[in-house]
Amino acid sequence: MIVLLPPSETKRDGGDGPPLRLETLGSPELGTLRSELMGELVALAADRPTCRKALGISAAQDAEIDRNAALLTAGTMPAINRYTGVLYDALDVESLSGATASRARARLAVGSALFGLLRADDAVPAYRLSAGSKLPGRPSLAARWKPVLEPVLAALALDELIVDLRSGAYAALARVPGAVTVDVVSERPDGSRVVVSHFNKAHKGRLARALVSSRSEPDDAAKVAAVAKRAGMQVERSGNALTVVITG
């Protein structure tokens, strides 16, 4: 089983690993586009106004541009430790130990606008590039990633059940055939339901933690739902689509 996480805009600084070596990352088939995007980001960093527009950031966030400028020389750390934010706080991978930590590093992966697909231990620098970023003069990231990333994910799905926790923009970079998908809704006292955003990330982080903590190896949506229920989550299933329901 692979639990495919979305990345986060926020990332830890620094890293005591050597500068990025693309050949050390998993899914080497993605290397050409990874290299192209990195080169484009480094070059774009020299033009701050254009870079801000492309990345959708303000002058107050120019440190993000500095990160991109240093992509080829900055220190690295494992991808699963690089990302921060609500989902990653709920996952809390740093608190895992022993066999559970080993399962987490084997089962967790991240969908990335810059790298396409990262396994937990792939060492990467801090960077800024979102699925919705629009690099000047280039096709959308979805148009560039889909032809190369979808075959990689399809091949992975032949051997592993993929639980796809990515948000819509990242899921649009490449679809995963047969993946288990997860939505989070809040149920009001009158029984009506609304999709939640902030808590969506927290509950997906909780689910990811439950899945990597489980000694079982779920191979279908029903077994993923069973793991979630054992972790105290209210889950409904319709085929490969799971809905986490928050009440109260």
* CB half-sphere exposure, 137, CA atoms < 13 A: 6
What pLDDT does 111 receive? 98
| Per-residue model confidence as pLDDT tens digits over 97-140 | 999 999 999 999 999 999 999 999 999 999 999 999 999 999 99
Under 8 Å between Cβ of 182 and 207: yes
* Stretch 85-93: mean pLDDT: 96
What pLDDT does 187 receive? 85
**Helices 48-55 and 62-69 meet at what angle, rounded to 10?**
100
Instruction: Of 192, 170, 202, 196, give the one whose Cα is nearest residue 183.
Output: 196
Please tell me the distance from the alpha carbon of residue 172 to that of residue 227, in angstroms, as a whole number.
27
Domain ranges, residue 179? 2-247
| Per-residue model confidence as pLDDT tens digits over 32-54 | 999 999 999 999 999 999 999 99
* Integer angstrom CA distances of residue 236 from 120, 153, 202, 221, 242: 28, 26, 18, 10, 6
Indicate the number of domains in the chain: 1
Pull the structure tokens for residue 195: 């999709």
Please tell me the distance from the alpha carbon of residue 38 to that of residue 31, in angstroms, as a whole number.
10
Instruction: Of 192, 166, 183, 168, give the one whose Cα is nearest residue 235.
Output: 183
Confidence of residue 248 (pLDDT cuts 50, 70, 90): low
pTM: 0.95
Confidence of residue 87 (pLDDT cuts 50, 70, 90): very high
* Stretch 144-155: mean pLDDT: 98
Eight-class DSSP state of 186: E
What pLDDT does 154 receive? 97
What pLDDT does 220 receive? 97
Alpha carbon 196 to its chain centroid, in Å, reads 18
Instruction: Of 111, 78, 113, 119, give the one whose Cα is nearest residue 204.
Output: 111
Could you give the 3-state DSSP secondary structure of residue 146?
A: helix
* Integer angstrom CA distances of residue 55 from 50, 64, 162: 9, 9, 29
Pull the structure tokens for residue 143: 């148009």
Under 8 Å between Cβ of 94 and 100: no
How much of the chain exceeds pLDDT 90, in percent? Answer: 93
Lowest-pLDDT choice from 41-50, 58-67, 185-194? 185-194
What pLDDT does 235 receive? 97
| Per-residue model confidence as pLDDT tens digits over 216-240 | 999 999 999 999 999 999 999 999 9
Confidence of residue 184 (pLDDT cuts 50, 70, 90): very high
Please tell me the distance from the alpha carbon of residue 85 to that of residue 138, in angstroms, as a whole number.
29
What pLDDT does 244 receive? 95
What is the end-to-end Cα distance of the chain in Å, rounded?
32
